[in-house]
Amino acid sequence: AALLDHLGIERAVIGGLSMGAGVAAGFAANHPQRTAALMLVRPAWTDHPRPHNLIVLEQIADRLDQMPADELLRRFQADPGIIPAAREEPAFAATVQGQCLAPQARQRAARLRAMVGSCPLRPAEIARLSMPSLIIGNELDPIHPMQTAQWWAAALGHNALLRQVPPKSLDLAAHQRAVCREISCFLDRL
């Protein structure tokens, strides 16, 4: 809200991607009079902490507490079962590798654990969201499952527009074009 004040903007379309979708929803719940519309792209959370789709991050954090990131990556490449969620869902491999290759990966363990344990909004806060909303999801994304986007669309009710775009993992350029197209169409309707 302070940024909007600084810029002299009374109302804005607020949006976010992944964890940023939770932040955007939180802003909308806390400042509904400042939120003209809400856009949630590939949301990762619903209304409770430790969702199943994010447990892999907690498992990565546990392993980063036990060993350096380069060792975790080497051991994971030899045996993906070192991260139990990755054994259940092979698509988590990119997440494990990304977390191990990130700067200061080992120091990120506490932040990963805190992220998984957080929750952007409670049910009563979500029920108060009444602005036009766009929710974008895609299949084949275990961190941001389509079911989470569908949950948000159902929770937001008749004001929500749910759109499914091509999976990022299959064709990044097509995914990006589709997301941009859906956002443009949504904004044109406001």
pLDDT, one tens digit for every residue, the chain (190 residues): 999 999 999 999 999 999 999 999 999 999 999 999 999 999 999 999 999 999 999 999 999 999 999 999 999 989 988 888 887 777 788 888 888 888 887 788 888 899 899 887 888 889 889 999 999 999 988 899 999 999 999 999 989 999 999 998 889 999 999 999 999 999 999 9
Question: Could you name the CATH architecture of 2-48+119-189?
Answer: 3-Layer(aba) Sandwich (3.40)
Locate tokens 């060993």: which residue? 67
At 35 the pLDDT is 98
Closest CA to 40 of 72, 18, 13: 18
> DSSP letters of the chain?
-HHHHHHT-S-EEEEEETHHHHHHHHHHHH-GGGEEEEEEES----SSSS-GGGHHHHHHHHHHHHS-HHHHHHHHHH-GGGSHHHHH-GGGHHHHHHHHHSTTTGGGHHHHHHHHH--S--HHHHHT--S-EEEEE-SS-SSS-HHHHHHHHHHHGGGEEEEE---TTT-HHHHHHHHHHHHHHHHHH-
Can you say whether residue 104 is alpha, beta or left, with left for phi > 0 and alpha for psi between -120 and 50 degrees?
left
**Domain residue ranges of the chain, discontinuous segments joined by +:** 2-48+119-189, 52-116
